[in-house]
Structure 1
Amino acid sequence: MKPTNEDTVEIAQVLALWGHIMDDREWGRLGEVLTKDAVWDASAFGFEPVAGLEAITSVLSSDGHARAHHTTNIVVSEGPGEEARVRSKGLGVMDGGTVISAVYTDELRRAADGWRISRRAIHLNRP
C-alpha cells in the first residue's frame, strides 16, 4: 500500500516511541511498537535473531545494548497489502559514551490499534 502523509507521521511516532521504551527499559510496553509475532534481528551486534514479544523482551533486557537510542532520517515507502517499508538511521550511546551509527530496516503492519513493527533488522555502520 502507498502510505499517506498521516501514515508516515504515525509510523515516525512508532519509531520515536521505540527509543523511549528502550531507554526507559519499559519492556512491558513493547507491544505498543511491535506486533506479537515480530522478528528482531541485531545479528550485526552478535545477537541471534528472535521472534515474538517474549523472546525479544528477553534479548533486549540483557546487557550489551545502547543506553540511549535516537532515530533519524526516516524514509517510509510502499509495502505489500497493509504494510509499509521503512529505512531509518539510528544513533546509539553505549556505556562509556561511545556513539554508534546504525541503519534500521523495518517492516510495519497496520493493526487495529495503529502501526506496529513486524520485522526490524539493525545494520551497523562501520567507519
Structure 2
Amino acid sequence: MAISAEDRIAINDLIALHGHLMDAGELDRLDELFSPEVVYDLGDFGLGPLQGIEAIRDAAIALGDRNPVGHHVTNVILTEMDEHAVQVRSKGIGIQADGSSGSVVYDDIVQRGPGGWRIAYRKVTARRTPLTA
C-alpha cells in the first residue's frame, strides 16, 4: 500500500516541526513530535540513546547555549514500512550562534497513533567527511 498524499504532507510537516520547536525553545510541545517511548540516538555525538520525551527535553536544557540557533531539514525521503509506520531519511543543517554550521543525517521511524504521526525512533549521524572517489 502506497503512502497517501495526506500522510506524506503530515509526515513532512512533522519532520519540519522539529526545527521550529527546538529553535523556539518550545520544549513543552515535544509530545507533538515524539511518541512517549521515543528512542533518540545521539551516539555519534557521544551522548548515547535518549529514551523518552523527558530525556530529550533534559538533554536540550543541559546543552544550553551550545544548542544550534537554527535546525534546518531538507532532502526528506519516505519509505513505507506498513500502514502505521514509515521510515524517514532526511538531512539537517545546524547553525550555531557563532555562525558555524554542521550537517547531519536523520534516520527516523515515524508511527501513526491516536494523535497522528509521531517520531518513535531517531538516529542522528554527523556528516564529517566529504565524498571521496
**TM-score band, normalised by shorter chain:** over 0.9
Question: SS in structure 2 opposite 1:3?
Answer: coil
Counterpart of 1:108 in structure 2: which amino acid? V
Residue 57, structure 1, aligned to residue 57, structure 2: yes
What is the number of residues matched between the two proteins?
127
Aligned to 1:42: 42
Map 1:18-29 → 2, pairs under 5 A: 18-29=18-29
Query: So what's the TM-score if we normalise by structure 1?
Result: 0.93
Aligned to 2:114: 112
Counterpart of 2:115 in structure 1: which amino acid? D
After superposition, the CA RMSD in angstroms is 1.3
Aligned to 1:72: 74
Aligned to 2:101: 99
Aligned to 1:4: 4
Give 1:95 deviation, angstroms. 3.0
Structure 1 residue runs without a partner (length 5+): none
Q: Contact 1:2–1:79 (CA<8 Å) still a contact in 2?
A: no
Question: SS in structure 2 opposite 1:108?
Answer: strand
Q: Distance in 2 between matches of 1:40 and 1:2?
A: 27
Q: Contact 1:89–1:104 (CA<8 Å) still a contact in 2?
A: yes
Q: Contact 1:21–1:30 (CA<8 Å) still a contact in 2?
A: yes
User: Which protein shows a greater Rg?
Assistant: 2
Give 1:56 deviation, angstroms. 1.4
Q: Distance in 2 between matches of 1:26 and 1:99?
A: 22
Deviations 1:44-100 (A, max 9, x none): 122221111111111122223322100101001111451000000000002311111
Give 1:2 deviation, angstroms. 3.5
Q: Distance in 2 between matches of 1:2 and 1:62?
A: 41
Greater displacement, 60-69 / 92-101: 60-69
Q: Which runs of 4+ in 1 moved over 6 A?
A: none
Q: Distance in 1 between matches of 2:99 and 2:46?
A: 20
Structure 2 residue runs without a partner (length 5+): none
